[in-house]
Chain A
């Protein structure tokens, strides 16, 4: 009976473990660095997006990259943009980030676009690999294989091992174990996948029916998977798997050695201790089964393995005919089950009151490692140790993350809504400041602008005159004001003399001619110097005009900026606020749905555990009563045996005292019947003798 029972337990445990293994192995596979690597940075904003991506700030990273990509696509000469160096990398990075942010559909679309685009085959191959990865994560294995079949030629060396590993796992999921084995054999020795390849290879061999080979591969991995917590856990998991597999095959001694290899402090130690006990129990060595079970019994009182051990220990004692100890242990089990049923009832109430979701929304959820486990320490929070198994499932993990993502988006949108209010305040302040002063400024500016234009025209005229003087030498045009005045006076004197000839004399003529000659001589002599000076002055004027124009431009820009600082935002802000509010409503609904699902699953899980414990309680009560009965029976039996022994001793003594007095009566059953009365029916001889003496 018991071997079948143990195998059934092992079978259940094994199937649960196998599913857990496949999940964990997938989850633990080293992350493909993919497109998310900085290399030589040519664009600061790409670097900033990576900074966010490396910290899992997916929304900021995707939004930044999306903006960069959109702006780049709008450029007339995109090749001049430093971002062009990172363009292809950014496209893949967006896909990767969307995948990390559980936007599989978007990531899939992005990859399909690459596949349909006019790009080189290696890039298409990488896109096909990434698309396959998305399908695999969504458990669409046939689609994943279809995507992998789109790969033509070799994939980029960077992702080649990952592609082959993914292909092997897809084959395994589709039941094509021989093909998976061939691929995994080829991947053995790949450092980045060390341990994971061997584990999957072992499983594939077992599933392909090559049990001995599979056990051999897993045995090697179970001896040394590598250093580090993850590798150590993989090693333990492998040994546990082998132990259960061999127990199922009724090879108990071999199975025990694998259970013994599992670390006592590791995450698989409870299952290993339980398995080790069952191996011994199956082999009929109940005393040895008690060793691991007793150890397990002292462990965390919320573990299913511990609960099972609480029943297994008294069961073993019962088998060893130590029914009183068994009864004591059943009593302890009942106490524990009672306590835990209360804990579970309280946890279910707590979840129904929304405490679980409340805790998941707290900031610590993204900052504290294993927050879901840690939240049990909060007052009134549910006992999350009972949810660990549920939480190990992909679906629940995805629900949890989605719920937290939605909560983050909700809070982020809330902040943006507040920011929009602040923006509107800023805009109103700017409007109230600028609107009264701008009309006056515009009037003053128009006046200054007219003067500037006039002066610029003057400058143009002067420049034209100087240019003309270079060709047509006209010294009078460079005369100073006193010289021009003197020239004009001389011309006036000549006009007066022409009008009044009686005033003319030779001397006067000579004096006027001399004066004109002096003036012309001076102008002619100084013409070159004066022209040079005029040119230099024009250059100086140009410098001043450049400053003027710069100030002018600055004013124009500032004037435009002043208008732009408050004009043209109203529609955009209204539209964005509407979009945010609509998003908030949707997020609210989705959070409620996702939260309900999380609660339902958690309550369902706790309910099951409670039902299981209640069932354990019933069994333990019956077993306790049974143990008491047996213990009593045994005690009575022993008492009877002691009495029989005492009678026999007395008979022997009597026989020795009265040798061959008479033949004893023969019992029809063949057993010798007592020939004397029970001692309590006989009067004590010595007492009566003594009494007689006394009397």
Chain B
């Protein structure tokens, strides 16, 4: 029996060393591949940057662009469930938030919820949100704002003050 176990341990040790050797042999290959992957990532990021700019220029030229952003200032205790946005009395966005999105908003991230093309002038904006506090209490509120579109691009931040059932708008 003892011999059986000795052989067993020897096999185990041998197999471990084989694995280490197998990995050591290809270490240079691994490094080379890793560097190539880093290069391609860099290239794709650069392409993405350029493609984003092209898309914006083509689809949302600055003279007609309106972008709407959602933020949760000081709302660590509040969990945003959904937001509906009406621009010019049309529903343009209805977003249900994932857990990761809620966390990102709570940490100070800002979500671009909608980008539109509008003529210069005033455009009615109506925002409705639904959410819950940590204790499970439900909150909802609706607020309106007039988006004054001028020649340049227009950015509006929709600040959801969850636990106060309030929405503030900030023109950028």
Contact = CB atoms under 8 A, between A and B. Distances in A.
Interface of A: 1-2, 5, 8-9, 12, 16, 37-39, 41, 44, 47-48, 50-56, 59-60, 62-64, 66-67, 70, 101-106, 308, 311, 315, 318-319, 395, 398-399, 402, 405-406, 409, 412-413, 416, 419, 423, 426-427, 554, 557, 561, 564-565, 569, 572-573, 576, 579-580, 583, 586-587, 590, 593-594, 597, 601, 604-605, 608, 611-612, 615-616, 619, 622-623, 626
A405 B19 CA distance: 26
20 contacts: A12-B9, A39-B108, A41-B110, A44-B110, A47-B109, A48-B69, A48-B112, A50-B108, A51-B101, A102-B34, A102-B37, A103-B41, A315-B5, A412-B48, A416-B51, A565-B58, A576-B47, A583-B47, A587-B44, A590-B33
Interface of B: 1-2, 4-9, 11-13, 15-16, 18-19, 22-23, 26, 29-30, 33-38, 40-55, 58-59, 61, 63-64, 67, 69, 71, 100-101, 103-105, 107-112, 120, 151, 155, 157, 172
Nearest to A415: B51
Contact of B109 (A5, A50, A615): A50
Nearest to A608: B15
B103 A12 contact: no
B15 A66 contact: no
A167 to B, nearest CB: 25
A398 B108 CA distance: 29
Contacts of B7: 615, 619
A86 B54 CA distance: 25
Given A50-B108, A619-B4, A41 B44 contact: no
Contacts of A55: 100-101, 103-104, 109
Contacts of B67: 44
B51 A405 contact: no
Contacts of B13: 8, 12
Contacts of A53: 109
A5 B40 contact: no
A179 B19 CA distance: 33
B48 A59 contact: yes
Contacts of B35: 105
A54 B4 contact: no
B38 A106 contact: yes
Nearest to A40: B108
A2 B63 CA distance: 84
A616 B108 contact: no
A63 B110 contact: no
Contact of B41 (A38, A101, A569, A611): A101
A398 B34 contact: yes
Contact of B1 (A105, A569, A626): A626
B116 to A, nearest CB: 16
B9 A412 contact: no
B34 A54 contact: no
Contact of B40 (A51, A416, A587, A608): A587
A331 B154 CA distance: 77
Contacts of B9: 5, 8-9, 12
B108 A41 contact: yes
Given A16-B16, A615-B11, A576 B109 contact: no
B44 A413 contact: yes
B18 to A, nearest CB: 7
B35 to A, nearest CB: 7
Nearest to B70: A51
Contacts of A311: 4-5, 8
B54 A576 contact: yes
Given A55-B109, A597-B26, 17 more contacts: A9-B9, A44-B157, A47-B69, A47-B71, A50-B109, A51-B110, A55-B101, A63-B45, A308-B8, A311-B4, A402-B34, A402-B37, A416-B48, A557-B63, A579-B43, A583-B44, A590-B37
A352 B33 CA distance: 21
B51 A419 contact: yes
B115 to A, nearest CB: 11
B41 to A, nearest CB: 6
A580 B109 contact: no
B38 A12 contact: no
Nearest to A579: B47
A619 B8 contact: yes
Contacts of B64: 561
B1 to A, nearest CB: 5
Nearest to A619: B4
A259 B28 CA distance: 40
A56 B107 CA distance: 13
Contacts of B157: 44
A594 B37 CA distance: 9
B2 A5 contact: yes
B160 to A, nearest CB: 14
Contacts of B19: 604-605, 608
Most A Cβ at <10 Å: residue of B52, B104, B155: B104
Given A5-B2, A426-B58, A63 B43 contact: no
Contacts of A611: 11, 15
Most A Cβ at <10 Å: residue of B4, B43, B120: B4
Contact of A561 (B4, B63, B71): B63
Contact of A395 (B30, B37, B100, B103): B30
The 10 closest A-B pairs by CB, nearest first: A38-B108, A51-B109, A47-B110, A54-B104, A619-B4, A63-B48, A63-B49, A50-B109, A608-B15, A1-B2
B54 A572 contact: yes
A47 B11 contact: no
Nearest to B37: A402
Contacts of B63: 557, 561
Contact of A564 (B40, B44, B61, B100): B61
Contacts of A60: 48
B111 A48 contact: yes
Contact of A409 (B1, B11, B41): B41
Contacts of B36: 586, 590
A105 B38 contact: yes
A623 B38 contact: no
Contact of A597 (B30, B58, B107): B30
Contacts of B51: 416, 419, 576
B148 to A, nearest CB: 15
A413 B1 CA distance: 60
B164 to A, nearest CB: 19
Contacts of A5: 2, 5-6, 9
B34 to A, nearest CB: 7
Contacts of B45: 59, 62-63, 66
A67 B15 contact: no
